[in-house]
Structure 1
Amino acid sequence: MGEIRVDNFSIDYFFSGDIDSYNYSSDLPPTLPDAAPCHPENLEINRYAVVIIYVLVTLLSLLGNSLVMLVILYNRSTCSVTDVYLLNLAIADLLFALTLPVWAASKVNGWIFGTAMCKIFSFVKEVTFYSSVLLLACISMDRYLAIVHATSTLIQKRHLVKFVCITMWVLSVLVSLPILILRNIVKANSFTLVCYEDAGNNTTKWRMVLRFLPQTIGFLLPLLIMLFCYGSTLRTLFKAHMGQKHRAMRVIFAVVLVFLLCWLPYNLVLFSDTLMRTKKIQETCKRRNDIDRALQATEILGFLHSCLNPIIYAFIGQKFRYGLLKIMATYGLVSKEFLAKQGRPSFVGSSSGNTSTTL
């Protein structure tokens, strides 16, 4: 199959994987080096499976992150610095997940929601993705400052934490502006419209530029910050034999580990695809199809991240469980005797006692 050109915009006739993923037109010749034209595989069954996964992720994220927000806001009088970060993280994950049903519908029927909604949903998805990972990096720096440098008197001030969170949201908006500007309705073929970047003859170049942002600001830079901060924090805790604080850090370590497991595979595949698209490695039909399938699978794993943090809190976070049971006891959903048996958690954090990590 050849390529369809719409208003000087070159786009592959067949979209494998999510139409919103970073799959770029590669300007391939009609015949590839393996001497066979690329015939896309039929992924119709996979498409409907992905739709089901998207909907399930949305429902789990809606339930889990809403509970996290409820627990933190209900106990806002004892809300710690880390809780403020985690509240913003829950908001970002929830908003991200709420865009998924729209992308799920577009996988079946193409984009039927108009140009304005294409720009808005693409923009919201991008902003919440960046804010989520940047907030995780902020949490790691907060722990690093509180434990390694003992700067509790600085980080315990609520207005500074709110300023940091607002800054992360503003930065996320700024790096997402190219998506808002370039996203448009494009014909994938004579029957299907898609929400896609459209910069005329420069579309391929712009999509490669846009790929650089999520791989650096959205993954590599925050990952390096987290590895440095948590590596230094762990070393300090072990040297000081601070076992209790180490146990209190389990939730945050788990949150970062889950982020790594969810997004590392996608970014590795995306990097491989970048090498192929920029001719650093040879592009063949088999390699192209393999990478497209891998992008689809690993992107789903990345999207799953938006609903996993609340599960971590429920199974590891003593403070979260106690806060949720406290709300349930207030409304008679569990007995106060049962709540008393659970025991009030011991909040451990920085020397100020105001940066608890036991959520």
Structure 2
Amino acid sequence: MEDVNWEDFILEDLLDGDFSNYTYSTDLHPILPDSAPCRPESLEINKYAVVITSALVFLLSLLGNSLVMLVILCSCVSRSITDVYLLNLAMADLLFALTLPIWAASKVNGWIFGTALCKLVSLLKEVNFYSGILLLACISVDRYLAIVHATRALTQKRHQVKFICLGTWALSLCLSLPVIIFRTTIYPPSSSPVCYEDMGNSTATWRMVLRILPQTFGFVLPLLVMLFCYGFTLRTLLKAHMGQKHRAMRVIFAVVLVFLLCWLPYHLVLLADTLRRTQVISETCKRGNDIDRALDATEILGFFHSCLNPFIYAFIGQKFRHGLLKILATHGLISKQFLPKDSRPSFAGSSSGNRSTPL
């Protein structure tokens, strides 16, 4: 009788909590007090997929976003309001990319970097996401005012744009506070250490609030703002047959579309995971493993976002290509004969009076 009790205790101890399949966002611990523990499925392939993806994204993002920042910073004269937002967006992507080698190493060796670095790299990941969508929402409002209402007074005051960007970074930090407070290095008895939330005896309701509140203010509301602004902006462009501005908006629409394609699947799966762990939907071992695999796959897709914007600028944004070629020609890296005759040294080009359009 005594031996059986010890075996039951050891089994519960080994299988309590699936730490081998944690994610980098504000995931909740499994809450199945009255059910048998589920055996986690082997995810070795996923681990190495994350490592390879992280290395690729790191290199592409480091190169691409550095070039984007260089081109925008060198275009002081004709830099548009949207360019300022895109500069901050590139900074956010670059900061996140710098953390990818650490995440990749932790996938293979466990979290061996301590609690301080756990909080820092988790914070950079969260801030990258929130600042990204908030900056895109700011761009949508700027385009809406400039095109739908032909409002120039607000959008032409560059010092106001700087304060808006600072406010965006501050709000992103506020939305990421749960990561700073609760992230720590956890040492499970049967697996490698992990960078994970430790909420102690917090209730399931409190945990759900910590996940849903940032998602509501940092994802759903900015998304609704973008849909509203771009819906009316696109309608105005099509009704007025404003071909030049319509072409200039292609880059912005592409940036927003890529952001949604990369991050929306992850947050939909994250919502399903929240409902599962708070027992709003029924919990089964198969469903838990399916959601865990989906979180890994969609998170890898989210990683790719930090390196995709430079490709959009390069293939769709004519002004970016011209600005980059001018910088290369100025430093003697290419011949000036490769420069287009109508090139301008920035993302921006004049399209309507003194109002510049991006990229």
* TM-score with structure 1 setting the length: 0.90
**1:199 positional shift:** 2.2
In the alignment, structure 1 segments of 5+ residues that lack a partner are 6-10
**Residue 25 (str. 1) matches residue 29 (str. 2):** yes
Aligned residue among 338, 347, 350 for 2:349: 347
Is contact 1:245–1:348 with CA below 8 Å preserved after alignment? no
**1:351 positional shift:** 5.0
**1:3 positional shift:** 5.1
Moved more, 202-211 or 345-354: 345-354
CA distance in 1, matches of 2:263, 2:49: 20
* SS at structure 2 position matched to 1:202: coil
CA distance in 2, matches of 1:52, 1:234: 39
**1:340 positional shift:** 3.2
Is contact 1:147–1:350 with CA below 8 Å preserved after alignment? no
| TM-superposition CA deviations, 1:254-313 (whole Å, max 9, x none) | 000001111111111112222222222211111111111001101111121111111100
| TM-superposition CA deviations, 1:104-137 (whole Å, max 9, x none) | 1111111111121112222222222211111011
**Residue 2 (str. 1) matches residue 16 (str. 2):** no
What is the correspondence of 1:81-100 to structure 2 with a 5 Å cutoff? 81-100=81-100
**1:338 positional shift:** 1.3
**Residue 136 (str. 1) matches residue 146 (str. 2):** no
CA distance in 2, matches of 1:51, 1:336: 41
CA distance in 2, matches of 1:59, 1:264: 24
| TM-superposition CA deviations, 1:58-103 (whole Å, max 9, x none) | 1111111000000001112221111100000100111112112111
**1:352 positional shift:** 3.5
Task: Output the amino acid matched with 2:29.
Answer: S
In the alignment, structure 2 segments of 5+ residues that lack a partner are 1-10
What's 1:8 paired with? none
What's 2:328 paired with? 328
Is contact 2:322–2:340 with CA below 8 Å preserved after alignment? no
**1:320 positional shift:** 0.4
What's 2:21 paired with? 16
Task: Output the amino acid matched with 1:212.
Answer: I
CA distance in 1, matches of 2:236, 2:261: 25
CA distance in 2, matches of 1:127, 1:311: 22
Size of the aligned set, in residue pairs, is 347
CA distance in 2, matches of 1:207, 1:4: 24
Moved over 6 A (4+): none
Is contact 1:146–1:155 with CA below 8 Å preserved after alignment? yes
Identity of aligned residues (%): 68
Task: Output the amino acid matched with 2:217.
Answer: I
Is contact 1:197–1:203 with CA below 8 Å preserved after alignment? no
CA distance in 2, matches of 1:233, 1:119: 40
| TM-superposition CA deviations, 1:333-352 (whole Å, max 9, x none) | 22111103574598255653
* SS at structure 2 position matched to 1:64: helix
Is contact 2:127–2:176 with CA below 8 Å preserved after alignment? yes
Moved more, 278-287 or 65-74: 278-287
Alpha-carbon spacing, 1:296–1:3, altered in 2? closer, same or farther (3 Å): farther
Alpha-carbon spacing, 1:318–1:27, altered in 2? closer, same or farther (3 Å): same
